[in-house]
Amino acid sequence: MLCGLIKPTSGKGFILDADMIKDPEKARAHIGYMAQKFSLFSTLSVRQNLNFFAGVYGLKGSYKQQRIDQMIEVFELAKHLNQAAGDLPLGFKQRLALSCAIMHNPAILFLDEPTSGVDPLTRREFWNHINSMVDTGVTVMVTTHFMDEAEYCDRIALIYEGNAIKIGAPDELKTANETMEDAFIRLIEHYAQEKVHEDH
């Protein structure tokens, strides 16, 4: 819904100054999106995927090539340019997917379970890339079931049964000596108890 793919039944949404209902195309131009499941073209090479997504985002001429070259350098893809994307090791699939998602310098980046199934070293590397983008002013929204990853974020919305049951900075949601996972469980239990009282 926040990416403009599903029309909301009520309410309003804006990406920067673009109304997601009235002007979804303008809103989507500010967005980068990386799916949980590898969603690039598996039979195309790394180079072909980079070229394709640069074109999809409307990049042209020397600027298009400049951005492709930057992605190759930043994500260390040079040795894999002629390899089919589907044959890449999982860590490099993640790198390629992220490079395609940020090719057009989006103001907001949505990451859906970005490190699901990857090893701890790759997860750490991935978050280093995310943090470097945040440092340049990109807003990054992440969905994750890894509570330790959630603590990397400035603000967390805990979702339970389709509702945001609590929103705040990690330290605001936790009590002393409590892990984020413990806090999530405590807040869910509290929410469930309140629901029971309301129903009665």
Among 84-93, 118-127, 149-158, 185-194, name the one with the lowest average pLDDT. Answer: 118-127
| Dihedral angle over CA of 61, 47, 28, 110, nearest 10 | -140
Global confidence as pTM: 0.80
Proportion of the chain above pLDDT 70, given as a percent: 98
N-terminal to C-terminal alpha carbon distance within the chain? 33
Q: CA neighbours within 13 Å on the CB side: how many for 192?
A: 8
* Predicted pLDDT at 199: 67
Report yes or no: 143 and 153 within 8 Å, Cβ to Cβ.
no
What domains can be seen in the chain, in order of their start residue? Answer: 14-144 (3.40.50.300), 155-200 (no CATH)
- Which residues are registered as beta bridge partners of 160? 163
Amino acid at 176: A
Q: Which two tokens stand for residue 145?
A: 């079931």
Q: What is the mean pLDDT of residues 170-197?
A: 86
The neighbour count for residue 73, using CB atoms within 10 Å, is: 10
Average pLDDT of the chain is 86
What is the DSSP code (8-state) at residue 135?
Answer: H
72-101 pLDDT per residue, tens? 998 899 999 999 998 988 888 888 998 999
CB-count exposure of residue 9 (10 Å: 0-12, 13-18, 19+):
exposed
36-79 pLDDT per residue, tens? 777 788 899 999 999 999 998 889 999 999 999 999 998 899 99
**pLDDT at position 5 over 80:** no
Q: Which two tokens stand for residue 133?
A: 């983008």
Tokens 């969603």 locate to 39
CA distance 187 to 195: 12
For residue 27, the SS3 value is helix
